[in-house]
Structure 1
Amino acid sequence: MNPIASRLLFPLAALAALVSVATAPAKAKEMKLVAGIALQSHREGDDLLTAGLGTAGLRSPLPPAFADAAHPTPQELRRRAIWSNWRGIADLAPGGGYGELYGSLAPVPGREYQALVRLPGAKQPHRVMVQLPDAFDAGKRCIVVNASSGSRGIYGGIALAGAWGLSHGCAVAYTDKGTGTGFVDTADGVGTRLDGTRAEPGDAVEFDIAKYTGAGLAPVAVKHAHSGDNPEADWGRHVKQAAEFALGVLQSGFPDGGPYTFANTRVIAVGVSNGGGAVLRAAELDGDWLDGVVAISPNVFPGEGGRPLFDYTTEAAIWMSCALAAPTFDGVAMARPGGQPAPAGIARCAALKAQGRLTGDTPMAQAEQARQILHAQGWTDEALAAGAISTSFDLWRTVAVTYASAYARADAGTMPCGYRFTALGKDGLRSANADKERAAWWSDSSGIPPGAGVTLLDAKAGDTSDALPGLQCLRALWTDKSAPADTVRASVAATRARLPRKNLPVLVMHGVDDGLIPEAFSGAAYARWASARGRDVRYWRVHNAQHFDAFLGLPVLGARYLPMLPYAYRGLDAMWAHVAEGKPLPGDADIATTPRAFVNGVLAPLSADHLGRMP
């Protein structure tokens, strides 16, 4: 039997009317739908949570195969997207604890609804999805709403919101928050349909952009970078619109139990990283539509205190590789393994010394000076040590380039500082596998290049591998006085959070060792600011935890860090007990943990003792 038991495209007006009814009072506006509602049933060898892959399939290092790699089916793309997003967020390695100490990989049969919707005033739509389990509990009427982490596509939160919400009989609503993986090769301008396949002329697409007619290479357009919408400023509204979509789905799925409204349906918002920032922005919106918020490692720019991502990312991109060469980081994986500094770090120190920005006479003196410069800006040694992961994978440059383009409202051919995304190989030639790579962009990409066959070109590097000139150009967009910098800073200012609604319970948690989004700049600063102004915000600090659970399958990292997802699951349990059963929400917590150890050369399995005492 075909795993897609049924497929139906709802008329746009019909569901818009349902959403309007469900989001009473009468002043509610109809949702602007760009593409109709795709309904698919996932049962009998397929399911909502694992796409039929189960534990073994998700743990496989090889992605689910396409029968025809240049023309994958919607079912194959969905399965691959679920595999990619589980592995990008959770530590599924044996001994890592997922499915044993926390979380669930049990198959969940049910229905899945997707649509493209548009915020008022936006140039591009965003994708929303509702997963409705067959075991939905109409008696407790609950929605878990999630925004994808990073710049990921619609399945970016499935390892947390999906696994917790579906197993608790809730509908789970997702939004890609205006980022997502609907890339476009401007050589042909072909976009991505609702089902993930490459579009035909006249089809509704999740990112609509014209063919490139400029000089030189035709770039790849990336929705987060090139939508022209500064989606980050609207992440809270994206979350609310996903919740409104969920009410419409419940109304259509259970018409005899309606109406489904925010007044009679509990809504908990949860997100990780950028998704965590998005749900905190949703918390500030007017109305009693939201009952509780759980934000994990959030990228949020507090109303007071903290620092915005673009500021500390461009700073780290310049200084961190040099700082990590300091002896302080002896033995730190990806920094000074074996006590030897990385050659790239020594080269960066030398380049900064040549510019007169460092004065030390030796590489180690220069590295220590760079470390102290970052200390003065609020970086801790714990954050710097974990920042070695981002440094090793060139994430600082990758993130800075994408966000600079988004903030500048640049198109794909005029990105700041001479950067460009292309579908060409490092040899400058079109890949022989280009058609296969483009067909898999929707399922395989994390939403930010490079990766999945898309490369980053750095014009300022010229014929060398020196990234410093381009990085300093990006930094100048934050520090200098110029029209382009003014535009970027104004866009960043639009992302600053406001206080959450009064009496709304909010739980924020952050790893002390987070090296991508340091707690001092984001989660801790937000909680301190909001609590000081009388908001109901609780903050959990988790020791020996950093940003990337998915990397803990590497023994050298699994032995140093604990995953954040166990605390996220505990936070959801506590929030549900509070909003549904009236139990007290646990207070602030400073959670002591114990990293795993090697026993006879093998990393010990994660146990409850490692995780410490959870609130």
Structure 2
Amino acid sequence: MNRPRHYACAVAIVLLAACASTPSSNREASMFSQQRATDHRDGDDLLTAGLGLAGLRAMVPPAFADSAKPTPAELRRRALWSSWRGIADLAPGGGYGDLYGSTANVPGREFSAFATLPGAHQPHRVLLQLPDAFDANKRCVVVTASSGSRGVYGAIAVAGAWGLPRGCAVVHTDKGTGSDYYDLDAGQGIAADGTVAGADAALAFKPVPASGHGVAWKHAHSQDNPEADWGRHLKQAAQFALATLNEQLPQQAPFTFDNTRIIAVGVSNAGGAVLRAAEDAEPWLDAVVAGEPNVLVEGHGTRSLLDYGTEAALLMPCALPALGIPAAPGADAKCAALAAQGVLAGADLKAQQQDALAKLSASGWTHGAMQAGSISVAFDLWRAVAVGYASAYGRYPHDAHPCGYRYSALGADLSPRAATNNERAAWWADASGIPPGAGVGIIDPQPAADLGLTGLQCLRALWMGDGEDARRVRKGAQETRAGLPRAGLPVVVIHGTDDGLVPQAFTSAPYVIMANSAGRDVRYWQVRNAQHFDAFLGFPQYGAVWLPLLPYVYEALDRVDAHLDGKGALPASAVIKTVPRAGKPLEAAHLAMPR
């Protein structure tokens, strides 16, 4: 049931009233459009769209009745299925739903909109989930952002799974990223309800120029460098939540930052986003929990994702065999080519592999991080990240990547082609927000015989070089640096010591040193035998070695919430000595949760 017109007017009135009474909020006032309101009960719900744990575990996504024209309800259900499976280990024996986490049936309503930051070219999505069992006495709102570059439901397994069963409202933002792809050939993008619409419709993302061939996507091609504003995206989402609660629960209004508990939580990119939100001097946040945060600070060994990602894209395939990990296809030829160019030293393959390992170790990579980094090598994630982030940092349009990359649907021979109706219709639900995936691939301008090395070296030069494009890209990366959290704000940071995508040595560790050195009270859980991707632990070879990080995020939220209630202390910093489960079902003893 949609009630957009009445809802839009009501939210606008409440928001204007709130801004008029709060000068600082007025400066950051949200601009909302395309408001929607939907009910989710009776075989549908907020947390799993009625799928439950069994439905989320299904290997095949929920079907569309008409694959070329799925309904908004079908798209939502499939987006939730995809978002859950991209973040959580749902495999039997992994402990989800038994030892930790929840897939409870939570009936309620959703309210969504496009929100636009002042000066931004493109909107970001905001979505409030209001459970019928909202605890009016506690007045709790969990604000979150999608992990990675995922769509607006990308944090459902993090914030939704913790907050909704407890009676908290949960408000999400895609933080200017997301799966709102635009088909340049067809001149079509994604509307507010997830369906495909033409260029004249109100779209979640319409690139400039909106012509050409292939596919454009918001994180890379908005020309906004959204990562620089992730903290502001979160605050707008929180403002949207309060305005909506005021309209929907008038007997309990007003809901303000002063009388409503606001807890921010996120993992990966969203972990960095909540730490950026923590900088705000206005005391709108009550606590922050950041899991495996992609965060850049000043000094203390910090490194930008584009810096260490381009380094890993070039060297890690060669280094992994020196750690006892089998070489990826084509890795040996890449080692020889890099040696011929003087990038690697060594007269034979083994010596070249050892030199690659030595270079990575010297730049701060631990063996644990490199071993887990093999996942990103296997899935070509280093290149995917580097291509997209270089475009975002440099604020390049889709037709001006400095290394010549672009995106398109691919034919059987990997040549670019036009996307089909069925592919386009499923993008919003299926795409992770960063190609390749969901039928969209990366087009390398170099021939296949080049092994991708020319492009990778161009990407590396955008960080290491001194040309105009390099300076432009590095400037964008510098704009994402985090500052100190507000004094007195409880902050808990959780990171796996074996994280191979966002290594703690380059991200959370420098952040905690910076914050604690300045007198901020940041608690830090370092979890042994945990890496970046809980979702991959369903693969036996990964689940035997590594443990999930989500249980620690939920536990930190429990303890922060209890502390805010006056019922416990904040969690003490700890190095958590876990026990790998070695193929056995996960038990509490494996997690070694600090008490």
> Do the aligned residues in 1 keep the contact of 2:189 with 2:196 (CA within 8 Å)?
yes
Aligned equivalents of 2:145 and 2:237: distance in 1?
9
Which residue, 175, 178, 191 being the options, matches 1:177?
175
Structure 1 Cα separation of the partners of residues 419 and 514 of structure 2: 50
Q: For structure 1, which segment, 405-414 or 559-568, has the greater mean C-alpha deviation from structure 2 after superposition? A: 405-414
8 Å CA contact retained: 2:207, 2:221: no
What letter matches 2:78 in structure 1?
Answer: R
Q: Contact 1:186–1:211 (CA<8 Å) still a contact in 2?
A: no
Structure 1 Cα separation of the partners of residues 520 and 141 of structure 2: 23
Give the aligned partner of residue 524 of structure 2. Answer: 539
Structure 1 equivalent of residue 579 of structure 2: 594
Are 1:320 and 2:320 counterparts?
no
Provide the residue aligned with 1:492 in structure 2.
Answer: 477
1:287 lines up with 2:282 in the alignment: yes
Retained in 2: the 8 A contact 1:7–1:41?
Answer: no
Correspondence list, 1:387-406, <5 A: 387-406=373-392
Give the aligned partner of residue 90 of structure 1.
88
1:323·1:345 contact (CA, 8 Å) conserved in 2? no
Cα distance in 2 for residues equivalent to 1:577 and 1:435: 50
Conserved? CA contact 2:328–2:378, under 8 Å = no
TM-superposed CA distance for 1:591, in Å, is 0.1
Matched, 1:479 2:489: no
Q: Are residues 465 and 483 of structure 1, via their aligned partners in 2, closer, same or farther at CA, if it must alter by over 3 Å?
A: closer
Contact 1:9 1:39 in 2 (8 A): no
Amino acid aligned to 2:456? L
Moved more, 63-72 or 341-350: 341-350
The question of whether the paired residues in 2 share the 8 Å contact of 1:270 and 1:276 is answered with yes
Q: Which position in structure 2 is the counterpart of 1:580?
A: 565
Q: Partners of 1:194 and 1:134 in 2: how far apart?
A: 24
Q: Match of 2:256, as an amino acid?
A: T
Q: In 2, distance between residues paired with 1:357 and 1:486? A: 23
Contact 1:189–1:209 under 8 Å retained in 2: no
CA contact (8 A) 1:144 1:270 kept: yes
Q: 1:448 to 1:366 in 2, by over 3 A?
A: same
Q: Residues of 1 paired with 2:198 and 2:330: CA distance?
A: 45
- CA distance in 2: counterparts of 1:429 and 1:346, whole angstroms: 25
Matches within 5 A, 1:359-378: 359-378=345-364
Partner Cα separation in structure 2 for residue 223 and residue 124 of structure 1 = 8
Could you tell me how far apart the structure 2 residues matched to 1:99 and 1:156 are? 19
Is the 8 Å Cα contact of residues 559 and 596 (structure 1) preserved in structure 2?
yes
Unaligned runs of at least 5 residues, structure 1: 598-602
2:368·2:498 contact (CA, 8 Å) conserved in 1?
A: yes
1:139-170 deviations in Å (ceiling 9; x for gaps): 01010000100000000000010010001110
Equivalent residue for 1:503? 488
Structure 1 segment 84-233 matched on structure 2, within 5 A: 84-200=82-198, 202-209=200-207, 213=211, 218-233=213-228
Compared CA separation, residues 418 and 131, structure 1 to 2 (3 A): same
In 2, the alpha carbon distance for the partners of 1:365 and 1:573 equals 50
1:17 to 3, 7, 13: 13
CA–CA distance in structure 2, aligned partners of residues 6 and 182 of structure 1: 21
Question: Is contact 1:22–1:251 with CA below 8 Å preserved after alignment?
Answer: no
Tell me, yes or no, if the aligned pair for 1:22 and 1:259 is still in contact at 8 Å: no
Q: Which moved more, 1:393-402 or 1:202-211?
A: 202-211
Aligned partners of 1:278 and 1:95: how far apart in 2?
A: 32
Cα distance in structure 1, aligned partners of 2:199 and 2:275: 38
Equivalent in the alignment of 2:41: 43
Identity, % of aligned positions: 57
What letter matches 1:608 in structure 2? A
> Does residue 1:307 correspond to 2:292, yes or no?
no
**Matched position secondary structure for 1:303:** coil
> Does structure 1 residue 423 correspond to structure 2 residue 409?
yes
Greater Cα shift, 185-194 or 534-543: 185-194
- Between the aligned partners of 1:487 and 1:539, the Cα distance in structure 2 is 34
CA contact (8 A) 1:31 1:117 kept: no
1:173 aligned counterpart, secondary structure: strand
Q: Is the Cα contact below 8 Å between 2:408 and 2:416 reproduced in 1?
A: no
Question: In the alignment, which residue of structure 1 is the partner of 2:593?
Answer: 613
**Aligned-pair CA distance for 1:12:** 3.9
Report how far residue 11 of structure 1 moved.
5.5
- Aligned match of 2:230: 235
- 8 Å CA contact retained: 1:149, 1:272: yes
Residue 426 of structure 2 corresponds to residue 440 of structure 1: yes
Query: What's the CA shift for 1:343?
Result: 4.6
Q: Is the alpha carbon distance of 1:198 and 1:210 closer, same or farther for their aligned partners in structure 2, counting shifts above 3 Å?
A: farther
Deviations 1:414-458 (A, max 9, x none): 112011101232436676971100001100000000111111110
Report SS of the residue matched to 1:416.
Answer: coil
Amino acid at match of 1:194: A
- Find the partner of 1:380 among 366, 380, 392: 366
Q: Is the contact between residue 31 and residue 117 of structure 2 (CA under 8 Å) also seen in structure 1?
A: no
Give the TM-score, by structure 1 length.
0.94
Using the size of structure 2 for normalisation, the TM-score is 0.97
Aligned equivalents of 2:328, 2:204: Cα separation in 1? 41
Aligned 8 A contact 2:130 2:169 in 1: yes
Distance (whole Å) between structure 2 residues aligned to residue 490 and residue 430 of structure 1: 32
The answer as to whether partners of 2:199 and 2:206 remain within 8 angstroms in 1 is: no
Q: Say which of 244, 256, 268 aligns to 1:249.
A: 244
Aligned-pair CA distance for 1:237: 0.2
| 1:583 Cα offset (Å) | 2.1
Deviation at 1:582, TM superposition (A): 5.0
Q: Is the 8 A contact 1:322 1:348 kept in 2?
A: yes
* Letter matched to residue 519 of structure 2: G
CA distance in 2, matches of 1:257, 1:378: 52
Separation in structure 1 between the aligned mates of residue 31 and residue 94 of structure 2, nearest angstrom: 41
Q: For residues 426 and 223 of structure 1, do their structure 2 counterparts lie closer, same or farther at Cα, with a shift above 3 Å needed? A: farther
CA distance in 1, matches of 2:443, 2:90: 33
Task: Say which SS state the counterpart of residue 241 (structure 1) adopts.
Answer: helix
Any conservation in 1 of the 2:142–2:265 contact (CA below 8 Å)?
yes
| Cα displacement string for residues 71-120 of structure 1 (whole angstroms, at most 9, x for unaligned residues) | 00000000000000000000000000001111101110000011001001
Corresponding residue for 1:600?
none
Q: CA deviation at 1:535?
A: 0.5
Aligned to 1:277: 272
- Secondary structure at 1:418 match in 2: coil
CA offsets 1:261-292 (integer angstroms, 9 cap, x no match): 00000000000000000000000012110000
For these two proteins, the number of residue pairs brought into alignment is 592
Q: Is the 8 A contact 1:226 1:412 kept in 2?
A: yes
Residues 285-339 of structure 1 deviation map (CA, whole Å, 9 limit, x = unaligned): 121100000000000002332111111001101100000021xx22xxxx32xxx
Q: In structure 2, what is the equivalent of residue 351 of structure 1? A: 337
User: What SS does structure 1 have at the residue aligned with 2:407?
Assistant: strand
The equivalences for 1:261-272 within 5 A come to 261-272=256-267
| Counterpart residue identity of residue 526, structure 2 | R
Deviations 1:519-549 (A, max 9, x none): 0000111111111110010000000000000
SS in 1 for 2:101: coil
1:62 is matched with 60
Give 5+ residue unaligned stretches, structure 2. Answer: none
Counterpart among 530, 545, 548 of residue 515 in structure 2: 530
Instruction: Give the Cα–Cα distance (whole angstroms) in 2 for the partners of residues 31 and 288 of structure 1.
Output: 16
Q: Residues 34 and 423 from structure 1, CA distance in 2 versus in 1: closer, same or farther, beyond 3 angstroms?
A: farther
Given that residues 148 and 157 in structure 1 are in contact (C-alpha distance below 8 angstroms), is that contact kept between their aligned partners in structure 2? yes
SS in 1 for 2:35: strand
Sort the Cα spacing of 1:350 and 1:447 in 2 relative to 1 into closer, same or farther, 3 A: same
